[in-house]
Amino acid sequence: MLRGSTVGLRARHEEDIPILRAELYDDVVYSSLVDSDPWRPVPAGSKDPRLTVDHRDDGSVRFSVVELAGGTLVGTATLWGIDTHNRLAHLGLGLLPAARGQGYGTDVVAVLCHYGFVVRGLRRLQIETLAGNAAMLRAAERNGFVREGVLRSSAWVMGEFVDEVLLGLLAEEWQQASKSSSG
């Protein structure tokens, strides 16, 4: 398990899947806000690609997020679009409704940065999020991500096109910020 201050990122367990499906992916509005694909119902018991883990897929790593204090499942985290040639990847997360607003998102982003830069040896991490997603923007910027641009009207969300914000973080920026905060 990868550990942050308040959360841990661990392998997805079979018992996580029904909780994540019910609290994240069966919610049409939430799913529409965080997923670039249109929402569709996925029958219970089927292999939902957003939740199952294929260890042969080198392009993404999916974690379950647990609270360190009690081991309670609080969400999901993903490093995706991993490009080993250019040494970059994207990151994303989803927190269960009861876990939102408690600072877990900032810690999840920090742990994903550690995984991407230290464990995987990547050079760049990137986040694309809706312009109205204040929690993700805050979590990214607290971890040193820089706003690099706005993708105007690039996401179709619940009947309208909305802007996305593109944020990036380079390994040397992350290392410098890590040294500053620990020293």
Residue-range domain boundaries for the chain: 2-182
CATH number for the 2-182 domain, one of 3.20.20.140, 1.10.472.10, 3.30.2090.10, 3.40.630.30? 3.40.630.30
For residue 3, what are the β-bridge partners? 8
pLDDT score at 85: 97
Is 90 exceeded by the pLDDT of residue 161?
A: yes
Distance CA 34, CA 48 (A): 16
Q: Which of 34-38, 74-78, 87-91 has the lowest mean pLDDT?
A: 34-38
Percent of the chain with pLDDT over 90: 72
CB 65 within 8 A of CB 9: yes
Half-sphere exposure (CA, 13 Å, Cβ side) for 81? 11
* Identity of the residue numbered 73: L
Distance CA 34, CA 41 (A): 15
Q: Are strands 60-67 and 2-3 parallel, antiparallel or unpaired?
A: unpaired
- Sheet containing 7-10: give its strands across: 2-3, 7-10, 60-67, 73-83, 88-95, 124-130, 160-170, 146-157
Residue holding tokens 């991993």? Answer: 82
More confident residue, 83 or 14: 83
Per-residue tokens: 17: 């899947």
- Residue 58 exposed, middle or buried by CB count within 10 Å (0-12, 13-18, 19+): exposed
Confidence of residue 50 (pLDDT cuts 50, 70, 90): low
pLDDT score at 182: 65
Helices 134-142 + 104-114 axis angle, to 10: 50
More confident residue, 76 or 58: 76
Distance CA 67, CA 74 (A): 6
pLDDT score at 164: 97
Per-residue tokens: 166: 């593109």
pLDDT score at 81: 95
